[in-house]
Each structure stands twice: as C-alpha cells, then as structure tokens.
Structure 1
Amino acid sequence: MVLKLRLIRLLNAKRISNVLFLFHPCYPLSYAAALASLQASPDNGLENKTKNFNFNSLFLSCTKVHLTKCLHALLLVSGNAQNIFFSTRLVNLYANVGDIVSSGLSFKQIHKKNIFSWNSMISSYVRNGCFHEALDCYYQLLSTSSVRPDFFTFPVVLKACNDLGDGRKIHCWVLKLGFDPDVFVAASLIHMYSRLGLVGDAHRVFDKMHVRDLGSWNAMISGFCQNGKAAEALDVFEDMSWEGVKMDSVTVSSVLPVCAPLDNLLMGMLIHVYVIKHGLDFDVFVSNALINMYAKLGCLGSASRIFDQMLVRDLVSWNSMIAAHEQNNDIVMALDLFVEMKQNSFQPDVLTLVSLASIVAQSGDCQNSRAVHGFIMRRGWLAEDTVIGNAIVDMYAKLSNIDCARKVFERMQVKDVISWNTLITGYTQNGLASEAVEVYHLLEGCRGILPDQGTLVSILPAYSHLGALQHGMRIHGRAIKTGLHMDVFVGTCLIDMYSKCGRLDDAMHLFLEVPQRSSVPWNAIISSHGIHGHGEKALMLFQKMQNEGVKPDHVTFVSLLSACSHAGLVDQGQWCFQLMQKRYGIVPSLKHYGCMVDLLGRAGQLDCAYEFIKNIPVKPDASIWGALLGACRIHGNVELGTFASDRLFEVDSENVGYYILLSNIYANIGKWEVVDNVRSLAKSRGLKKTPGWSSIELKNKVSVFYTGNRSHPQIEEIYNELGVLLAKMKSLGYVPDFSFVLQDVEEDEKEHILMSHSERLAIAYGIINTPPNAPIQIFKNLRVCGDCHNATKLISRITVREIVVRDSNRFHHFKDGNCSCGDYW
C-alpha cells in the first residue's frame, strides 16, 4: 500500500520516469521510451493518461524480475491490474522471468478468472518445474462451477504427470469431457504414457486416433525409441510411410537412432536418400543424427562425409564426430578432431570430456588421464555433473588405476545407479571380484538407488570369477522378481555364471529361455561348452546358430577356436579359422591368432605353430608368444621355449607368469642354475609370483586355501585325511610325479610339497565337511598341475564322488577315476 501511494504521488507529479528508479538505476531503452511517452501525454489525470496507453511495449521489454515488478506496480496504480488480459499476461510474465511465487500471487488477485487465466497459471507452473503445484491448480479448476477445462488445458497438465495415478485421472477427464478426438490432446497422452514407460498404453491411444497429424506420428515413434523398442518404432515409421505422411526433421532425428540397434543399415541409407531428396540435409539436427547412425553401424567414412559437407556445425556435430571415432576405436582421429574443434573456437562441454576420457582410457595414456581429470576439476564439473564423474571413474578403472577410480567415486556428491555399476565393473575387470561384491553389498544398503539391468550385468561376472554359486543364484532370483531374466544381456551373464560355477545343464536351460536373435547368448553357450571340454557340442551349437540365421561375429570364432583347442580338435579349428575369413569376411584379430597358436601348440605341433606365427600379417603380441611358450612347457621343448620367452620379454617384460613358465621348462630338465637365474631376473624387476589358491563354497561360505598354508582351523583334520587318501592312492599304483615340484629338494620333501597343493587341501576339506558320495566343486586361480590331476582322478574313484575343478583355463569333471578332459588340457 505504501508503494502504491508513493507511485501515485510520483505519477501525479509528472515524475513518471522516477517510478523505475524505485527498483533499479537503469532499464532498457524501450521501457524508457514507453514511460517517456506516458510522461509527455496531456495532463488529464492518471486514469486518462493510461486509458489508451500501449502497455504492449512494456510487457515485451520486461526481461528481469525488477522490471516486471515495476510494470505490475504501474498496472496497479493505473487501475488496469484487474483487466483480465493484462493480469493474465502478468502471470505469464512472472513465470517467464522465473518468479513463480509472484506469478501465483498475481493469479490469485484475478477476481473473475477465465479458462485462459487457468491455463496460463498451470503452464507457468509446468515451465518452472512445479509439477505438483500444476496438478493442484488443475484440480482447483475442476472444483469451480463456472469454468471448465478446454483442449488447451490438457496438453499442458499432462506434462506435469510424473505419476501413473495422476496420468490415469487426467486421461479419464479427457474422455469424460470429450477431448480425446483432439490430435493435440491425444499426442500429449502418447507423450505422457511413453514418459512413464507405458508405451503399450501410448500405442492404444495412438491406434484409436481417427485423425493423425505429423506430431502424433512423431510422438509415437519417439515413445518407442525412448523405451528401447527399436523394432516397434520402425514398424510405426513404415506405417507412416505407407499412409503417405511426409517426414520432417523431427521424424528423421527420432527414427535414425533405431537403425543401429536393429543393425539395419539399409533403412538408414533409405532415410538418408529421403533427407537429401527433400532438402533436410541442411538441417543441423538431421545431420547430427545421420552421423550418429552411421558411426554406430561402423560406417565411419559415411559419417565423415556428412560432417565435411555440413555448412553449419554446432558443438553437437563435433561431439558426434569425436564420439564416432572413439566408439570405433580410431582414437588418433578422435584426438585430431578434438584439437580441430578447439581451433574452430568451440569450447568442450561435458559430453566432449566424456568422449575424451574414453579416448584416454583406450590409449592407455595414464599421463593425460590426470590432465583430463584436472581440466574437469578446474571447471567444477566433477562435483556438479554425475555423468562426467561416472566417465572419470570408468577411465581410471580401464587404466587399471582402481584406487583413483574409488577416490573419485567417493568424492562424487551425487551418485546414481550408473556410478555404482561403473565401479563394480571396474573392480571385476581388474580381477578384484571380492571388492566388486563388497561394493554391490554397499549399493544394496543405499537408500533411493535400486539395482537395474546394468547392475546385474556388472556383478554376475564377479560371482562367476569367485565361483559363488549360491550368491549368483540369489541374483538370478532378483532378476526373475524384476522381470530382467529375459533381458538378453542379463540372461547371457546368467548363462556364463552357471557355466563357470560348474552347472552347465542349468546354463543350457537358461539359454533355451532367453531371446536368441543376436549372437550374444550363442557366444556364451558355445564358450561354456568349450571351457567344459565339450568341443564337439560347441561345433554343433555353432551349426545350429547358422541354421537359425544368426550371424556369428568375431567373439563367436574366439569361443569356437578356444573350444577346439581345449578338446584337441585341430582340423575343426583350422576349418573355423578359414570359414571366419572366407564366408563371413571377418579379419582375424590377435585373439584369433593366439587361439590358433594355442590349438596347434597343445596338440604338439610346435613347428607348425611357429611357422604360423611367422606368417601372421601383424606384429605378434604377448598372448601369441605366451601361447607358444605354454605349449613348449607342456611338451618340454627347451630351445623353442627359450626363443619364445625372449620375444615375450621384448613385448611384455612385466608379466611374471612368463618368467615362471620359462623357469618351469628348465626345472623339468634339472637345470636349477638357469631356474635361479630366471627367478632372479624376475625379482630384480620387482615382479612377484601370483600365489596359488583354491576355494570351495560350503553352506554359503567360501573357504580359500593357499599352497602350504596351515592357518585353517581344520588343517590337522585336512592333512590327516590327505594322509589316508595318499595311502589308498599308492595301493592303486599312484606314483608322485616330482617334475611338478619346482624346488631342488629331497624326494620326501617333494612328496610333502605335492600333498600341500591348494587344490588337494580344498578337496580334503570338502570330503570331511560333506556327506559321503556328495559331489565336490573347487576353484583354482592357476592351472591344475599334472600330479594333482592324476591324484584327483584316483580320489574320485576312492571316495565314489564327482569332483569338479575349475582352473584358470577350463573345467575338469573327475568321476570313477577319469577326467572329462581326457588328460588333454
């Protein structure tokens, strides 16, 4: 009231321009001009001055809160505040400048509200993210007797529905008031249901529409895309084409992303032709969508041509091209584009840095990882943006700097489920399965965050690595409860988990349940049979895969070649290697070459393996020379083993396993001086041998045994049981193979060393803690030694038990004195 009286005095004293100085010392020229016009008008009283005054210019000039309040004051003192047109515009104006409280107060001051006023207030709340208040306002509208919602009301209020209950209620009112035929209202219902994940309900609304405009088609296509229904989105798009509805830039930008998940390059190219034909290729959004589509389908050349032809590029264009090369492992070009982008005066944003973090991780550039991290820290993005925080955690994890990854994770102020999934995956990929499980348990106790599909895909490999079947089954139960067990990726991880926990039949049963349209589950089940030594069955599954029209990929052939290697199927493995190249056009990678060397080497064809290596068109890496060295260890070829080790130390001198393999070769022929030299070399380089351990899970508890360790509370009982078993084994003709004792000691000491191997300790522990004849399953982090392999065959016969051992390479199923590997591993 005091302000109003002061304004009246100023206006009557012809000091109109001073009104504004009550709030701010400066104001836009258009505002000043309008006030000057009012001041210069004949002095016929305030009411006459403002009667024909054009307030439109003042409304257009109000871009700040203080200017809007000035205009509001002017409307009050001039008697125009109750004008329904001005007052409603004032409601909108306050909302536009972000003062939703003043907008609401202005709305309440309107005595006779019409539907335009109500719609303006609801829209104001929605624009400012006040969805609850928008719904309350809508329900207040319904309680009035003089005003009813119109077809402008529902498109706005439906945007405020973040809860299914409210959405259903609004839909009922749409039907009750007869607005369902309106195309704008129907399109808003489609958007609402799609946003809530009820794309089936959205499609039912779409099907009942008698008239569909382009916006309705776009809404339905976008709804399917948002909910991961790529095939359904493409079906709607094809129906749209059949009905002769022309696409616009929104349609193209919505439908192009579905081509990649469906691997439908032809559809993407047809849309590209349409874009060129109708002149949409000059639209920046369309060009960006085309770049992303071609990049995700592996067509970097096409993506680059589109980018080069763009007359106008925005930051999204540059980000799209950088991400395209990063996703296709062309990190050199991705970095070049990043440099060029900065030269063109584009400053990187969060998405740029996400791609850059991935590039650094792929290149293994630990030094630049710190630079990227520092750049982000200086701009404060790490504290504010969860996406960039997740990217940095992922970057450090992929660089095997898991401690830094954990520190970044701990310092993130806001963590989402992706943050947790990224850290769990990082621990699993770095072989720290126990730590991954620990983080998963912390996630389960975290309020407000629920495990999702990505969580299950992250944690299941950790349980697979540990052989924790009971815990893995609990995750399976969660997947069934949430309906995720039919997800192809979760289902594939479950197949892998059951297989690696020794339950191949359960893995096969799951495989028959999950969708088999892609190569992912096929690769898992082929690999599962391979590690269990069933090479012939793996080949039969591959044949069935081809018969069902599923195209194998490079992972399929890695699994096949590995299965053939474990089973000694040399001819079949060579056939697969040729088929991969000639029929499917897959260029062999170093993994494929490594599998072939392993296949030939295990079979004793060492000369063929070496000739094969010499003909490889790329430089052999550590995996290839390591496969040859391992074969030399099995077959006792000292000369070729020494040559392979020399090549290994050139490409990877930090892997202690290769030093151990070489020392084992010399130990087998009694050259202890050379053994000491090799071990001294490893020690001088700071390398330590990975200690051998075996684990067994009983009653949901995992017990771990280390070779020679005597810390277990039942260790005396364990050694007593091993002594009894040793006597029975010798009565059956068992003779210890001392070649697997790599110390120069007396024979009685060698026998004790063999008896204290971790796998024997775990087997004895299982025997004394389980009922007679019950099966035993153990897990070993290294390969089972030959003497333990022979001993376990005899133990299975003596105890009438099935003993399953998973070592670092494969499964061994011991039963009745035999092993499933046929002594070939």
Structure 2
Amino acid sequence: MLISSHSCLLLLDKCSTLLQLKQAHAQLITLGLARHAIASGRVVAVCALSCFPGGLDYAYSVFNDCRMPNSFMWNHLIRAHVQLKDHDRALLLFNSMRRRGFRPDQHTFPFAIQACFSQSMLRIGMALQGCVVSAGYERDVYVVNALVGMYGGCGVVGAARQVFDETPERDLPLWNIMIRAYVSSGSVCMARKLFDEMPERNVISWSCMIDGCVRHGLYKEALGLFHEMLVMEEAKPNEVTLSSVLSACGRLGALEHGEWVHAYIGKFGMKIDVVLGTALIDMYAKCGSIERAESVFCGLKCRDVMTWSAMISGLAMHGHDGKCLQLFSLMQREGVRPNAVTFVGVLCACGHVGLVGEGRHYFDSMWEEFGISPLIQHYGCMVDLYSRAGLVDKAYEVIKNMPIEPDVLIWGSLLSGCRTSGNIEMAELASRKVIELDPLNSGAYVLLSNIYAKSGRWDDVKSIRRVMEEKGINKTPGCSLVELDGVVYEFFAGDDSHPISMEIHSMLEEIMRRLRMIGYVENTAEVALNLNEEGKEHALLVHSEKLAVAFCFVSTPPRTPIRIVKNLRICVDCHLAFKLMSGEFDREIVIRDCNRFHHFKNGSCSCRDYW
C-alpha cells in the first residue's frame, strides 16, 4: 500500500539511517514525485545535513537527477560543506550556482560568508559583502550576523564594528557576535564597553565575556563578572559559563571559589559531564587539592581523552610520578588513545622527579607506538628533563636535532638548567638565543645575572643590570596570591602596601626568629645583588611568598593549611624556610610556583628537593 506524498516527506525528516532515507525516497519515486523540486529538495536537505556515511554523495546524486533544482538545494549543499569545514568546495558551489543563473538569497549568503572565517579568505569575504549589497541584503539580520562574524574571525575587528554600527536593527545574536570579535582580537576592554551597552543579555553574552577575560589572563575580572551575572539574574549559568569560571579559579588558585562553583553545580542538579568534569579536575589540581581532583575523576561515568589528560597533568604537577604513569597505563588498557596533551603531562611527570630514561622512552613512543609527531612543547619537556638532571649537553643536543625551530621557552628551559649546573658558557649561549627571539625578555637577563652572581662575577652582574636599564627592561616582580574568605590577596616582593603591613612584617620577623633557633641560616647566595650580608638577608626576608605566608599566619587560626600561588620559581632560601615552618608551626603549606606544586608538611617537601 502506497503512502501519501505528505507522509513521505514527513518520513524523510525522521530517518535515522541512510537506508531508511533511501526507502522513503523510493516511495516518492513510486508516487512520481522523485524529480519534483520540493520533494527532491527535502531529500537533498536531509542527506546533506545528516551524519549518515555516504549521505552527501546521495544528496549529490538526487541533486544531479533533478530537472529543475532550486536555490533551496544549492543552499543546503553549500551549508553541508561549510559544516564539514570544506570551505573551498562551498565557495565553488556558490560560484557554480551563480553561473547557472540562480540568484543567491538571504539563506545562501550567510553560508557562503561562513566559508570565509579565516585571514586567508578575507578578500573573498569582502567580495561577498559587495555581492550582498548588490543583491539588497545588507540589512538582513542573518546576513549581517554572518558578515560581522566573518570579519571578526579574520581579525579585522574595525570592519566588523563598521557593519555592526551601520545596522539599524540589531538582534541579540549580533551583539554577541560583535563581543566575540572584540574578545578574539584581544580587545577585552572594548568588549566590556559594548557588553555594558547591551539592551538585553543572555547566557551566551555572559559566557563570551567571562571566557574572554579568562583567555586574556583577567582572572579576577572573570570571577567579578560571574558574581555580577548571579546578582543581576539576567541569565542562568550553563556548563560553558561554569567551565570558564572554574578555569579562572584554577589560574588564581582560588579553591574556595572553585568549591562554591562545584556546590552550585550540585545545588541546581546540573549533570557533571566530561566538559564540567574535566574543568573541575583541572581546577582542583591547580588549586592544590589533588585528592578532590581524583575524587571527581573517579566519580565520572564517562571520560574522554581530555579528562584523562587533565588528571595525568594534575598528578604530574604535584610530583605524583608513580600515580601519573600508572594512570597513563590504565588509560590505554581502557581503550582511550592518548593524544599530544596527554604526553605533555607524562613527560612533565618524568621531568619533575628526574626519570630521564623513562622520559626518553615515552618521548620515543609518541611516534613509534601512537603515530603522534612531537610538538615544540614535547621537545621543551625533554630539554627541561635533561636540564633539571644536570645533563645540559644532552639538552643542547635535543635542541640542535629538533626538526622545528626552537622558541623562547626551549632556550629558557636550557638557561634555567644552567642555573642548577652552573654551566656559564651554555648559559651565555642560551641567554643570547632567548634575547634574539625576544629582545625585551627580562627572564633571560635575570637568570644569567643570577648565574653570574652565584659564581661571584659581580662585574658581569653590573653589566647585565646596566644593559637592562639602557633598554628599559624591568625585572618581573615576584607576586604571590592567597585566597582568604573568598577574597584573593596579592603580595609583591618588598610590598608594604597591605593595610596590616606592620603586623605582617612583625609576624614574619617572629617566624624567622623561631626558625633561626632551630638552625635556619639564610641562603644569601640566592641574592643577585652585591650587598653586605645584612642587606642580602633583608632582600630574602621580603620575598612575596614569605609575606603571603606571614599574612596567613596573622589572619588564620593555628594549623590552618596555607595555599599560595606564585608567578615565579620558588627560590632555594624560601624552599628551606617553608620546610622548617611546616614542622615548627605544624602548618601544611602548599605553594604553586611557575613550574610545579610544593607541599610542605612535617619539615619536608613533596618535591624531595628536586625542582
């Protein structure tokens, strides 16, 4: 029994396999509608936009068989290629459509313009804008949205803003697209200005603005926006919003904020999927609570490669090399194939504890076992691994044999390793390379200066300082962050601007007095200044992490754990002082420096003095 043509058309939309779709199409053929424009158009549309293997090929066979194809068919074929990222083919279809006498409409242009969302396609996108104006669609909301998105994607934010400003009727998606264009170009201030002018906002608006702040290092501002979002109640945060907020918490080491977000997810019954789960794992790991990260990981029913990689990287940061490598093996046994990100975590784990042979094995296995070509990050891990182990010659061999040009981070890793080994000749070579690539890089000058100072070469130290002054290069100040009662406090080296600065310094002096009584002696070799011993001791006393710890001693009850995030590598003197503090005052002190975590407890450190 034959079914009606209307029923056949409805069946097309419900097909879940290509076979079902072909069967419905066969019914249309039997009804004599196979070459009818509407019926054929629906078949092409369903095939083109489906994920059926061979669906697009079948769409073309129907399209070519149609005696009178219409714009609807062309539009869906163009759209299908845009969704497949086959932008060249999409534009070829657009040109073919015009050559065959079909007039692009308000549905055609948005798809064609979306094929130009890259710098290399900018000229074609500009030409398309000319076509839009000629066709009279320059005020169509969908076409305008596509144009603003195209210019934003190409990094031409001025042209995007011009189209935006020339549009009299702007819908909410257009505002969001313009904000995203500013954010992508790094103009977060302009994005915020436009955001504040919006007549209405939705969750996409807030998420885009929060994510923009996170991507450009404005973590406090991201948390401020999130709290503003909750107060204004214009939109409810979704998984995307919360993932960005958790990322900001992780970067700041704001554990209390992160725990609050986790509780918010539970309160509103949001499902912790792989996206939120991965974000929570990363946040807890970066905030120093690796146990909570493991708890979230174990509680996830579904894990993808990024979830495994986040847990592996977290364990590596905390120096849990055994657990990290065991998890890497378990990941493979469970059928999850590691990617480039996974191997960065594995190689970091080897580097943090000096597993040179193991690191080499994992590096070689990337290509040999998994077909992954090492990226510059992986070479950086190997340079770091050898440098930390004092094998700077081997590290230099890695650099010389790299198939890609070494960057600042590669040479910086070698330079940092020279500080440990005292290899001045290699340090001078590495610092020259860093400065060639980044003439204003203060770290290269400071590290080389520290190496000279450690060797007592004070004339060379003065020479470097003089060059820095002449070039206007300032040393990156040591900065430490502490979260207390939901507020993130910043401390800089030598800082006395805090409202309770006198109490902080008084507490710090008392702490150091107690430490000296149990044998602590300042490691003045760490001071790269030609001062007398008293001056060097004072310079060590006011390091940002020591001020942050003293603040916590003043502001929290005894035995309360302390968590600090520092922007630079922790120095040898502070490392020794914190080990002694943790035992003398029965305080767990967790420091995240620019390289890794240090958990100080009962007079020892989790890094086992290898960092």
TM-score of the superposed pair, with normalisation by structure 2: 0.84
Is 1:806 aligned with 2:592?
yes
| Local SS of the residue matching 1:814 | strand
Superposition pairs of residues 217-616 of structure 1, within 5 angstroms: 218=13, 220=14, 236-237=16-17, 240=20, 249-250=41-42, 253=45, 259=51, 267-268=52-53, 270-279=54-63, 283-295=73-85, 300=86, 304-305=88-89, 307-308=91-92, 311-312=96-97, 314=104, 320=111, 323=114, 326=117, 331-338=118-125, 341=128, 349-360=144-155, 368-377=156-165, 379-380=166-167, 384-616=170-402
1:521-566 superposed Cα distances (whole Å, 9 cap, x missing partner): 1121111111111223222222222222223332222232233322
State the alpha-carbon separation in 1 of the partners of residues 488 and 307 from structure 2: 29
Alignment of 1:617-656 (within 5 A): 617-656=403-442
Deviation per CA, 1:469-495, whole angstroms, max 9, x where unpaired? 222122112222333342321221111
Larger radius of gyration: 1
1:154-165 counterparts in 2 under 5 A?
none
- Pick aligned residue for 2:457 from 656, 666, 671: 671
Query: Does the 8 Å contact 2:75/2:111 carry over to 1?
Result: no
In the alignment, the residues of structure 1 paired with residue 481 and residue 345 of structure 2 have an alpha-carbon distance, to the nearest angstrom, of 26
Q: CA deviation at 1:788?
A: 0.4
Distance in 1, Cα, partners of 2:473 & 2:158? 26
Contact 2:578 2:600 in 1 (8 A): yes
Contact 1:417 1:449 in 2 (8 A): yes
Q: Does 1:820 align with 2:606?
A: yes
The alpha carbon displacement at 1:354 in A equals: 0.8
The separation in 1 between residues aligned to 2:380 and 2:124, in whole angstroms, is: 34
- Separation of aligned partners in 2, 1:245 and 1:509: 51
- Matched residues in 2 for 1:250 and 1:595: separation? 53
Letter in 1 for 2:88: S
Distance 1:275 1:531, change over 3 A: same
For 2:412 and 2:426, how far apart are their aligned partners in 1?
A: 12
8 Å CA contact retained: 1:249, 1:280: no
Q: How far, CA to CA, are the matches of 1:585 and 1:306 in structure 2?
A: 31
Give the 3 Å change call, closer, same or farther, for CA 570–803 of structure 1 in structure 2: same
CA distance in 2, matches of 1:317, 1:588: 41
Q: Is the 8 Å Cα contact of residues 288 and 597 (structure 2) preserved in structure 1?
A: yes
**Structure 2 counterpart SS, 1:703:** strand
Q: In structure 2, list runs of 5 or more residues that go unmatched.
A: 27-38, 99-103, 135-142
Question: How big is each residue's C-alpha offset from its partner over 1:748-805, in whole Å with a ceiling of 9 and x where there is no partner?
Answer: 1211221222212222332344343332222222221111011111111212232211
- Match of 1:511, SS? helix
Specify the code of the residue in structure 1 equivalent to 2:17: F
Unaligned regions of 5+ residues in structure 1, if any? 1-181, 188-211, 222-235, 260-266, 361-367
2:138 corresponds to:
none
Q: CA deviation at 1:659?
A: 3.0
Distance 1:714 1:727 in 2: 20
Change (3 A) 1:406 1:217: same
Give the Cα–Cα distance (whole angstroms) in 1 for the partners of residues 525 and 109 of structure 2: 61
Q: Following superposition of structure 1 onto structure 2, how do residues 769-784 of structure 1 map, counting pairs within 5 Å? A: 769-784=555-570
Spell out, residue by residue over 1:474-519, the C-alpha distance to the aligned partner (whole angstroms, 9 max, x if none).
2112222333342321221111111111111111111123353421
Shift of 1:747: 0.5
For residues 411-459 of structure 1, the C-alpha deviation after alignment (integer angstroms, 9 at most, x for no partner) is 3444332222222122222222111122222222224322222211221
1:410 is aligned with what amino acid?
D
SS at match of 2:482: strand
SS in 1 for 2:154: helix
Q: Does the CA contact (< 8 Å) of 1:253 and 1:289 recur in 2?
A: no
- Whole-angstrom CA distance in 1 between matches of 2:499 and 2:263: 33
**Contact 1:484/1:490 (CA < 8 Å) preserved in 2?**
no
Query: Do the aligned partners of 1:397 and 1:405 also contact (CA within 8 Å) in 2?
Result: yes
Check the 8 A contact 1:257/1:292 in 2, yes or no. no
Task: Give the 3 Å change call, closer, same or farther, for CA 615–474 of structure 1 in structure 2.
Answer: same
Q: Percent identity?
A: 37
Query: Residues 461 and 683 from structure 1, CA distance in 2 versus in 1: closer, same or farther, beyond 3 angstroms?
Result: farther
Q: Distance in 1 between matches of 2:48 and 2:256?
A: 43
| Partner SS state of residue 484, structure 1 | coil
- Label 1:662 to 1:476 Cα distance change in 2 as closer, same or farther (>3 A): same
Asked if 2 retains the 8 angstrom alpha-carbon contact of 1:390 and 1:422, the reply is yes
**C-alpha separation in 1, matches of 2:573 and 2:180:** 42
Q: For residues 570 and 349 of structure 1, do their structure 2 counterparts lie closer, same or farther at Cα, with a shift above 3 Å needed?
A: farther
Give how far 1:811 is off: 1.0
Matches for 1:10-25 after TM superposition, within 5 Å: none
Q: TM-score, normalised by structure 1?
A: 0.64
* Alignment match, 1:688: 474
